[in-house]
Structure 1
Amino acid sequence: MDERKFWAERFEAERGRLRAVALRMLGSHAEAEDAVQEAWLRLERAGEGGIDNPAGWLTTVVGRICLDMLRARTRRREEPIEGDEGEVRPADPGVPADEQAALADSVGLALLVVLERLAPAERLAFVLHDMFGVPFEEIGRIVDRSPAAARQLASRARRRVQGLRQAPSAGYERRKGVVAAFLAASRDGDFSGLLAVLDPEVVFHADADAVRLGALAEIHGAQAVAADFKGKATAARLALIDGDLGLAVILGGALRIVVRMELEGGRIVEIESIADPARIAAFEVEYI
């Protein structure tokens, strides 16, 4: 069989599921079709070689495409489901009413409204895991997070979807205390205070833009990380980065660096410094 024909048939076999994923991610038939078509174009460009799991590969690609589309939508401050008066309206006005009704029947209009209020990464984690059973390891690769962080994204989204109150949990308050202690110790030049909140095997890494601003590309171990952060962070603020605790560095009145942190067992195990303007623009940052 012709190789292109073989992959076209494999893609067609997955099209319905991919469209369902995109539809629940985007809430728009037209955008879902665009996302699925883009996945096919990427499959063609990939040359189909070395793809051992076409279903998983295509799910990952569609997830990334949808995430980019949701982030672009957020940047444009669009409100595709809820209007200014709070009246529910279709996600895509260009889609016929009967198709919108079918979408509401299959997903639930109330759920669509809640999904629109989630951060893009939360929405992706919830939809892929809770609706389609995608493992957190795979979701983490899509959103550039660890599996544990992807699980937290889905958990937060699930609580909001279930309509539970978002009162800060004891676990959240403990994590916030750790990050706040790290920030205070860094500002004060408190080496011992930094060691107290860093895991002995903590790893720090920075993107290329952060390196150009003076950061080291990678640091291993609590002693080295504490030494590097001692006396710094004077321009940093506590923040939620896509719902996760971290730091936002304000320079010249603008957000220039985002510092993401992973915590385990009450200590910081990973720190990532991000200064790429495009990546920063894609984050939902809330100062706390």
Structure 2
Amino acid sequence: MHPTTAPLTLEELALFNELFIARFGLHFPDHKREILESRLLPRLRANHLKRYIDYYLLLQYDYEREKDHLIRAITNNESYFFRETTQIEVLQGDAGTELRAGGILPGRLRILSAGCSSGEEPYTLRIFEQRSPFGRGEPAHIDAVDIDSERLERARQAVYRPSSLRVLTPAQIRCYFERLDEESYALRAPFRQGVRFRLGNLVDLDSLRGVLPYDAVFCRNVLIYFAEPALKKAIDNFAHLVRPGGLLFLGHSESIIGLTQSFKAERLGQCIAYRREGT
């Protein structure tokens, strides 16, 4: 803690959580108070503030100016290529063939990566499609949304540090990336085509809607940070985004069983997905 900054109190934590849940769905439990304290401290210093309550009041009265800084401070942007690929591989088999046949655009999948960070997940989807197409037909239409505008710009640039490639083999790195220098790798053009990035907030349905419903939505390792009311709101939003019969993929540590009637858990190969109910 900076010597001139008062510690974050439980009362201040409660106020911030109220704001975060309403705006983004995010929640910091009591045992993560020090984590939030450390993440917000640079913003206090940048605004020449000595108390966290003062920063909270700043957000109340000048939110739009501070919004992007706040989002970058409190969101977890951990991501890398080829993360939890079992779910992506499912789309190369019968599940992908079925989705293509029954989709809004027959023969072409519409996929949404929700909470895409700097693009590793949607680009992984494209790489897997290039390696082994999701059935036959036109290339998938892949939309990717995130709440952090800075991360989205990095995604569009598609230049990555070695940490984002850490589970790839040297051969895969050579195949999919062009090495710019020791710390920078640019994703090759064929694996960037057809991936579209835009701002989107999981608790704001209007910011998520595409022109048409999606056959599959990936939202992995995001909802674990949500408060329960926001989690239910996000699930309800997904129910509007995924067509009947479509699939929702969550992280391995995430589950919505018992929280909604709109999706039904279904085992597909080695993973669990959630099938959109209805006709």
Query: What's the TM-score, normalizing by structure 1?
Result: 0.25
More helix by share: 1
Q: Which has the larger radius of gyration?
A: 1
Query: What's the TM-score, normalizing by structure 2?
Result: 0.26
